[in-house]
């Protein structure tokens, strides 16, 4: 059986909130290392990969592999009933029909309990190869959100170009064009505002802004976001969580001219 308790429901609420508009039905794959999720969006352009490691929970117990087939819209309805600071406990039997969720507000001695019906989901699992990316950009997640929102007003696509001089986001549309360039920036007193660019070779790729703005719904999960690019492979956008847990998005590039 599965039993996984989070000190605050916040993490799980925000993670589900971040992906619910991109993927609808997906399996939460539970085993002794934690809870993992992989799912493609309907048009098979983007892929979500989430890993909540066992260490993120206290306690965490899962003796065998359990797949929890969940409709995220339904899960969102249940999670809406959880206070951000409530403790959250997820429980399921070995071959479960339901996912049991318990929210506890310890200060108020209030306990709420929900059973969410599960479904059989037969999903393709994609193998994501280990990639040495040509460019890895770490930047404030709020800045990334601002850039994608601002450029969305100009065009449906953005070209991300990483060079030794910095990273440039540029868009061309019917009304004109726009760009934002960020240079490496490491303020000693404000680590959350750091922009770091690790570059093995210059790279430029074009992506759909519709998906990038969607990924930015994960912004509350982490102050920093990591963008990993290599020529002609999907962009990886990573929101790192405490203890090595993560929420990653992969986005297939736009190709040709």
Partner 1 sequence: SSQQSRIEGFFKVQ
Applying CB under 8 A, the residues found at the interface with partner 1 are 40, 43-47, 124-129, 157, 206, 208, 233-234, 250-257
Rounded CA-CA distance 18/44 in Å is 18
- Asked whether 207 and 171 are in contact (CB, 8 A), the reply is no
Q: What is the dihedral of CA 157, 162, 166, 168, to 10 degrees?
A: -10
CB of 182 to partner 1, least distance (A): 23
> Measured from the CB atom, is 46 or 99 closer to partner 1?
46
> Measured from the CB atom, is 60 or 207 closer to partner 1?
207
CB of 216 to partner 1, least distance (A): 19
Taking Cα atoms as reference points, which of 83, 75, 80, 78 lies closest to residue 104? Answer: 83
> Measured from the CB atom, is 34 or 234 closer to partner 1?
234
> Measured from the CB atom, is 111 or 128 closer to partner 1?
128
> Measured from the CB atom, is 47 or 154 closer to partner 1?
47
The 10 Å CB-count burial string (b at 16+, else e) for 147-156 is: bbeebbebbe
Rounded CA-CA distance 189/32 in Å is 39
CB of 46 to partner 1, least distance (A): 7
CA distances from 157 to 75, 146, 169, 218, 233 (A): 32, 15, 10, 20, 16
> Measured from the CB atom, is 59 or 256 closer to partner 1?
256
Taking Cα atoms as reference points, which of 112, 108, 115, 52 lies closest to residue 82? Answer: 112
CB of 70 to partner 1, least distance (A): 21
CB of 168 to partner 1, least distance (A): 17
CB of 62 to partner 1, least distance (A): 21
Rounded CA-CA distance 51/48 in Å is 10
């Amino acid at each position: 059986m599965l039993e996984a308790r989070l000190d605050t429901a916040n993490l799980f609420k925000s993670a589900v909130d971040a992906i619910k508009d991109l993927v609808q039905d997906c399996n939460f794959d539970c085993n002794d290392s934690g809870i993992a999720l992989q799912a493609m969006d309907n048009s098979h352009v983007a892929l979500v990969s989430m890993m909540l490691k066992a260490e993120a929970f206290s306690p965490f117990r899962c003796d065998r592999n359990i797949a929890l087939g969940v409709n995220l819209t339904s899960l969102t309805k249940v999670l809406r009933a959880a206070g951000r600071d409530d403790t959250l406990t997820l429980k399921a039997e070995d071959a479960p029909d339901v996912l049991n969720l318990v929210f506890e507000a310890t200060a108020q001695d209030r306990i709420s309990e929900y059973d969410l019906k599960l479904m059989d989901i037969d999903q393709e699992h994609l193998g994501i190869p280990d990639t040495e990316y040509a460019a890895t950009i770490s930047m404030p997640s709020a800045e990334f959100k601002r850039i994608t929102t601002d450029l969305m007003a100009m065009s449906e696509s953005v070209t991300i170009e990483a060079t030794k001089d910095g990273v440039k986001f540029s868009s061309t549309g019917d009304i004109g064009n726009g760009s934002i360039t960020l240079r490496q920036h490491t303020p000693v007193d404000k680590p959350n505002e750091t922009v770091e660019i690790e570059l093995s070779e210059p790279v430029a790729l074009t992506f759909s802004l519709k998906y990038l703005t969607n990924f930015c719904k994960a912004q509350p999960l982490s102050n920093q976001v990591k963008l990993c690019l290599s020529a002609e492979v999907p962009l990886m956008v990573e929101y790192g969580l405490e203890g090595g847990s993560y929420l990653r998005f992969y986005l297939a590039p736009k190709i040709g001219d």
